[in-house]
Amino acid sequence: MPLSALLVLAGAIGLVIGVAAMLALASPRRRRAEPTVAPGQSIPEATAEVLAILSSAYVVLDSSGDVLRASPLAYSYGIVRASEEDYPRLASAELMALAADVGRNGGFRDERLSLRRSAQGDSDAVIDVRIGALGEHGALLLADDLTRAVRVEETRRDFVANVSHELKTPVGAITLLAETMEDAAEDPDAVRRFAERMQTESRRLSHLVKEIIELSRVQGGSALPDAEVVEIDEVIQEAVALNRNFGLGSKIGVSVGGAQGLNVFGSPAMLTTALSNLISNAISYSDPHTRVGVSVRRDHGMVEISVKDQGIGISKENLERVFERFFRVDRARSRSTGGSGLGLAIVKHIASDHGGEVTAWSLPGQGSTFTLRLPEMGRTETITVGARAADDPHSTDSDAMTRYGSGKGN
């Protein structure tokens, strides 16, 4: 490039930098001179467009820490909960404290927090949180869930050993049966009997490999591939349909009841797999001519799907281990039904990936209840100050002005 062209280009770059610097110096004065946003105005369209392309979960807060806008992932991570009045709230006191600190002092905070997803949970979520001032009257919270990465690293070490141990049983049985069949080649009845047992062991091996692949799939890769708004009614309908023939063959009915029209955010296929495993497990451990019930209810921002059976029940010591990989309450019954001991472990991983949990209650002889708890999909559109004041029958105009401050719309 000629020297004259380089000089012109350098001059142009210098001019752009100088103009940008002048605008940056003048912007605080200009912001102070601009009129404040009237109450009831929504988040600016340009800001909403930027938020829409963020890969992290986000929450837009006003200066008092109330949620103005939240992404679906914010609900899934358990950062935000939908209240009974449908106004979302930050779900953690630690997050509220960070938001209040930024609201008072401005600036930027970057923390890694261990947050309890729910009061009944037995494990914490590891969340990277970044929160900073958004204009003069709000804050933006960004979050990434690292729980999955931490958990996978912890489980990777012993998974191979467990798989090797479990595969030895059916493989060894098939080898032994094949040798025995060879020795009994002159006895057609014995050959037929050993062949049937080999087929049974082959089906067990196939089912075990399938569930190992399923567990590996939910443990690795993206936590929520192709996540979307999921209708719980459709998940239940599909999960029940997948187990219809199994229930009919076992002479066990499946009934559904409870709340309808509830939504969560996540993977429809994974949630269907989780609920199908719970239903299948309930059928496997129930006596003929009994029923398995599936019920749904809404509880403080969570959707609870309970699967209750009238089966043999689980002792207290075994109940504490039912979600461990390859653990079986009744190994003899698992052999007869083809259980691998991975079904409930898969359910636990899927629940955790969706920001929820799975719990179990049981007493020997009184059946069992497994409950899948998932964050409800709350409102994700901008929630304006004016709409809040108008929708809240207990607030007055003066209360709204005092709470949110005059001239604040972001």
| CA 180 – CA 259 distance, rounded (Å) | 56
> For residue 154, what are the contacts with CB-CB under 8 A and spacing of at least 6?
none
The token pair at 22 is 């002048």
Residue 208 and residue 261 in one domain: no
Please tell me which residue, 50 or 368, carries the higher pLDDT value.
368
Residue-wise pLDDT for 20-79, tens only, equals: 444 444 444 333 333 323 334 456 676 777 787 787 889 988 877 788 888 888 888 888
Residue 308 and residue 276 in one domain: yes
Residue-wise pLDDT for 349-364, tens only, equals: 889 888 899 999 998 8
Residue 196 and residue 232 in one domain: no
Residue 107 and residue 176 in one domain: no
The token pair at 103 is 């609201």
> Confidence class of residue 303 from pLDDT cuts 50, 70 and 90?
very high
Residue 331 and residue 252 in one domain: yes
| Domain total of the chain | 3
* C-alpha closest to that of 38 among 391, 381, 408: 408
Residue 231 and residue 363 in one domain: yes
| Residue 165 domain boundaries | 147-221
> For residue 30, what are the contacts with CB-CB under 8 A and spacing of at least 6?
none
Q: Is residue 223 predicted with pLDDT exceeding 70?
A: no
Q: Is residue 37 part of a domain?
A: no
Residue-wise pLDDT for 233-275, tens only, equals: 999 999 999 999 889 888 999 999 999 999 999 999 889 999 9
How much is the pLDDT for 155?
65
Q: What is the CATH number of the domain that holds 254?
A: 3.30.565.10
3-state secondary structure of 283: helix
3-state secondary structure of 116: strand
Domain boundary among 221, 240, 264: 221
Q: Is residue 85 predicted with pLDDT exceeding 70?
A: no
Residue 157 and residue 125 in one domain: no
Residue 260 and residue 348 in one domain: yes
> CB–CB of 260/222 below 8 Å?
no
Torsion region of 221: left, alpha or beta (phi above 0 gives left; psi -120 to 50 gives alpha)? left
Which of 159-168, 299-308, 320-329 is least confident? 159-168
Phi, psi angles (nearest 5°) of residue 339: -70, 140
- Write down the mean pLDDT value for the chain: 75
Within its chain, how far is the Cα of 254 from the centroid?
A: 26
Number of H helices, E strands in the chain: 14, 14
Q: What is the CATH number of the domain that holds 53?
A: 3.30.450.20
Burial class from Cβ neighbours inside 10 Å (0-12, 13-18, 19+) for residue 270 reads: buried
Torsion region of 57: left, alpha or beta (phi above 0 gives left; psi -120 to 50 gives alpha)? beta
Domain boundary among 145, 175, 210: 145
> CB–CB of 82/75 below 8 Å?
yes
How much is the pLDDT for 283?
92
> For residue 218, what are the contacts with CB-CB under 8 A and spacing of at least 6?
270, 346, 349, 350, 353
Residue 362 and residue 240 in one domain: yes
Residue 130 and residue 171 in one domain: no
The token pair at 157 is 């070490």
Which of 145-154, 242-251, 290-299 is least confident? 145-154
Q: Is residue 394 part of a domain?
A: no
Mean pLDDT for 210-223 is: 67
Residue 208 and residue 139 in one domain: no
> CB–CB of 92/115 below 8 Å?
yes
Residue 300 and residue 335 in one domain: yes
> CB–CB of 253/247 below 8 Å?
yes
